[in-house]
Structure 1
Amino acid sequence: MITIDQVVKRRRSRTILDHVGFEARPGRVTAFLGPNGAGKSSTLRILLGIDHPDSGSALFNGRPYRTLSDPLRTVGSMLEGSGAHRSRTARNHLAWIARSNGIPQRRVDEVLDEVGLAGDAKARVAKYSLGMGQRLGIAAALLGEPEMLVLDEPVNGLDPEGIRWIRGLLRGRAEAGGTVLLSSHLMSEVADAADDLVVIAGGRIVTTGTVTEVTAGYADLEEAFFALTGVTR
């Protein structure tokens, strides 16, 4: 279970997050949706212990990320792409992460194959497209075979085949009992994968619920998104 409870974050006089709270449950894909600048990444950075809230809490199974004894085996995460140095190869990047966390090296080739990068494992990251970089970031998140996944904008840069692939990956993780939380500003790209939606705008949660509950009274998910967030088409 991922639990975010009344998180407040301010920068100088500006309130970035205003009492943000929601849950992501095991066996379900929770999509954290909102326009660019709504507070999605700020929330996930606090959840992953990169930033501190002014008040409130963000927990994995009741514990802050920084207190997890074996974090990569508990939570797999991706923020802002792969995080790999451009001069390294994908295999070297993942091998370094695996060694630093006591993860068997066999996992490197397993995840490269799972994300479709086995044929490009020896290429330097500098030569990767945006979509390939996204796949490498997801591979790193999967290395420790974690029970929970937190992915920030995972569909960015993916072509239609890649979007279908990520939807299948997320659904498979949830159906195996995992907890999946992903952020996106692209409503339609994640709709087919999601069970639950959390919509944020201006640093505040505007609605939560299942896809059916959130879209009730609207023609479709896209119409619901624009109406709830106040974003113009």
Structure 2
Amino acid sequence: MIEITGLTKRHGRRTVVRDIGFTALPGRVTGFLGPNGAGKSSTLRVLLGLDFADAGTALIAGKPYRELDRPLRTVGALLDGGGAHRSRTARAHLSWVAASNGISRKRIPEVLELVGLGEAARKRAGTFSLGMAQRLGLATALLGEPEVLVLDEPVNGLDPEGIRWMRRFLRSFAAEGRTVLLSSHLMSETAATADDLVVIDRGRIAARGTVAEITGGHAGLEEAFFALTTGTDGGRTR
């Protein structure tokens, strides 16, 4: 699972994440919500070893990301699109990633088919639509058959059919006893996909609990979100 405890992150004199903590459990999809600038990206970057915390810990399967042996076999991540070089084909991109983590190339056609890119294996990433790039990013995340997925706006650029496919895939992934941490701005989709929610606002945890617990007393997740992050509820100020 994912365990974040007492995490603090500063950029210069500005504290962007302040003493936050939450868990994302196996067998469940955890939605990670917050306004722009709330600290979501900073939290995910520390979790995935792309940045250092000033205090606290962020653990995946009991270890910091930097201490994982062949990390793609433990955690797959999709941040800021797929990250593939524009001149590389989908298959070449996955081949390079597989080699870097000791993953058999036999896995490449499997993940391309899984994400719906089987017929695009020889196409260059620079020709991909935004939705195709997202699918390639997910294929990269799944390459090592990880137990944990960390995804930032995974349905960005997907059409309605792709969004529905992603929802079903994440639900089935979690149903196998694996862990999903999902950051998104799409309230209705998050409510339909997640089991648990963590809401962050101005660098602090505003709420955490099941979807039912967070939305209780509200018309839906969007209303609950604005009540938690702006202090308003149906036009009333708290």
- AA at the equivalent of 2:77: S
Separation (CA, whole Å) in 2 of partners of 1:231 and 1:186: 20
Give the C-alpha shift of residue 67 in structure 1: 0.6
The answer on whether the counterparts of 1:155 and 1:189 sit within 8 Å (CA) in structure 2 is no
Consecutive unaligned residues of structure 1, counting only runs of 5 or more, are none
Aligned-partner SS, 2:77: strand
- AA at the equivalent of 1:116: G
The answer on whether the counterparts of 1:36 and 1:185 sit within 8 Å (CA) in structure 2 is no
The answer on whether the counterparts of 1:15 and 1:203 sit within 8 Å (CA) in structure 2 is yes
Give the C-alpha shift of residue 13 in structure 1: 1.5
- AA at the equivalent of 1:30: T
Separation (CA, whole Å) in 2 of partners of 1:122 and 1:211: 41
- AA at the equivalent of 2:220: D
- AA at the equivalent of 2:34: G
CA RMSD of the aligned region, Å? Answer: 1.3
Partner of 1:223: 223
The answer on whether the counterparts of 2:218 and 2:224 sit within 8 Å (CA) in structure 1 is yes
TM-score for both structures, normalised by structure 1: 0.97
Q: Deviations over 1:136-164 (max 9, x none)?
A: 10000000000111111111111111111
The answer on whether the counterparts of 2:5 and 2:58 sit within 8 Å (CA) in structure 1 is yes
The answer on whether the counterparts of 1:26 and 1:178 sit within 8 Å (CA) in structure 2 is yes
- AA at the equivalent of 2:45: R
What is the identity percentage for the equivalent residue pairs of Structure 1 and Structure 2? 66
Partner of 2:117: 117
Partner of 1:180: 180
Separation (CA, whole Å) in 2 of partners of 1:229 and 1:213: 16
Q: Does 1:139 align with 2:139?
A: yes
Separation (CA, whole Å) in 1 of partners of 2:40 and 2:162: 22
Separation (CA, whole Å) in 1 of partners of 2:12 and 2:106: 47
Q: Does 1:154 align with 2:161?
A: no
Equivalent residues in 2 for 1:72-83, closer than 5 Å: 72-83=72-83
Partner of 1:127: 127
The answer on whether the counterparts of 1:16 and 1:203 sit within 8 Å (CA) in structure 2 is yes
Separation (CA, whole Å) in 1 of partners of 2:161 and 2:77: 22
Give the C-alpha shift of residue 93 in structure 1: 0.2
